[in-house]
Structure 1
């Protein structure tokens, strides 16, 4: 097993452009990692992780949950947002103020002011888990950006264009990195390559991803 020897080493914040309206904000959430993980732990005690089924009947390798007014769900009926957790029958846990503040600050840093997410997907990756190329099309207001926060093991983020067959950029995301995309890149295809084996100082043998959206 490969240890992430640099998990706790401070990095200098920087920005990398992926496309028009798309940025990687490196180390943007670096100083909030432990606080974010503490919030995740509390949220998952209320809305546990689960592996959703796709409409075609496949089980997603990434486990997930949600917080906020709306949660993203998938089953034989299709992809959609719902105010209730299908597992518990209760509303999703409220989005922590720390989450909302980070999403707003990251969106503003990427040129999208006034972002107020009402949904946060909590994705949990173990080695081998991946997210196939897809577009985020289930939100009503696509004028709002997507904000994605990485915590734990590094991952290879794949970012393409408006067609599935277009060229891909592959970017290594470290714990504390944030990706923001909107505007002309709002419907860009994107995904995560299979997570490599490893051990991270904060999360152990896994990666968390927080994806903020304005869904309603």
Structure 2
């Protein structure tokens, strides 16, 4: 948005959970959107996720590195076309490391930021102390009517921070607590280019998207709807 009356500032929403507005510049956002369009093509492309109870998620999804399905990971699209999952590119992992360092650095201090970005214990809360780097991406596409219920990202073996990048339409992002899907929670407006990182004591917090704000995407992106890219460290052995 041009000429903010009150410029948006980085905010610690909860311990270990930080919102950084406008982290991606327009050129980087366009490059990510172009990449998402390629990843969305079959095989192993954009799909509708079906839950064990027979329901469907309204946001559609494509995965990189490992294929997520409720509630596990696989090497192939076991709940779709059966194709091998698309590889996770190294440059996306580096983007994830930089995002964590940028988001958590001023909050945790330089040593803790290095720990968060590169997978070491900061001497207090753990921000991911294994030797694995970012190796999984879940990319969700929301049209104007799509939602995401409150859930936890709990299917990984690593507790390294989750990196969330928003592109296109703004949304209401609801960030809750680690005990239940109910209050207390905080609603945050995420706009195109925003970064949200959560780890440490907030790594298993419930979160969701109760509402997308149609027509709010920057026109120069050429995107109708919202893309959300979440980067995770699986912690899985390479051979499994």
TM-score of the pair, normalised by structure 2: 0.79
- 2:12 is aligned with 1:17: yes
- 2:136 is aligned with 1:119: yes
Structure 2: how far apart are the matches of 1:192 and 1:91? 29
SS in 2 for 1:51: strand
Structure 2: how far apart are the matches of 1:151 and 1:160? 22
Structure 1: how far apart are the matches of 2:58 and 2:84? 24
5+ unaligned residues in a row in structure 1: which ranges? 1-5
Quick one: structure 1 residues 10 and 55, their matched pair in 2 at CA, closer, same or farther if it must change by over 3 Å?
A: farther
SS in 2 for 1:81: strand
Q: Which string of whole-angstrom CA distances, capped at 9 and with x for unpartnered residues, describes residues 165-198 of structure 1? A: 2311011001010100000011111001121332
Name whichever structure is richer in helix by fraction: 2
Counterpart of 1:185 in structure 2 is: 202
Counterpart of 2:74 in structure 1 is: 82
Q: Which of 157, 170, 174 is the equivalent residue of 1:158?
A: 174
Quick one: structure 1 residues 100 and 14, their matched pair in 2 at CA, closer, same or farther if it must change by over 3 Å?
A: farther
Superposed, 1:192-211 pairs within 5 Å as: 192-198=209-215, 200=217, 201=219, 202-211=221-230
Structure 2: how far apart are the matches of 1:118 and 1:211? 11
Quick one: structure 1 residues 203 and 16, their matched pair in 2 at CA, closer, same or farther if it must change by over 3 Å?
A: farther
Structure 1 position 101, deviation (Å): 2.0
Structure 1 position 203, deviation (Å): 4.2
Superposed, 1:32-181 pairs within 5 Å as: 32-46=28-42, 47-68=44-65, 70-74=66-70, 79-86=71-78, 87-109=80-102, 110=104, 111=113, 112-114=116-118, 116-142=133-159, 144-163=160-179, 164-181=181-198
Q: Which one scores higher on RCO, CA 8 angstroms, separation ≥ 6?
A: 1
SS in 2 for 1:37: helix
Counterpart of 1:3 in structure 2 is: none
Quick one: structure 1 residues 197 and 13, their matched pair in 2 at CA, closer, same or farther if it must change by over 3 Å?
A: closer
5+ unaligned residues in a row in structure 2: which ranges? 105-112, 120-132
Contact 1:51 / 1:59 at 8 angstroms: preserved in 2? yes
SS in 1 for 2:211: coil
TM-score of the pair, normalised by structure 1: 0.87
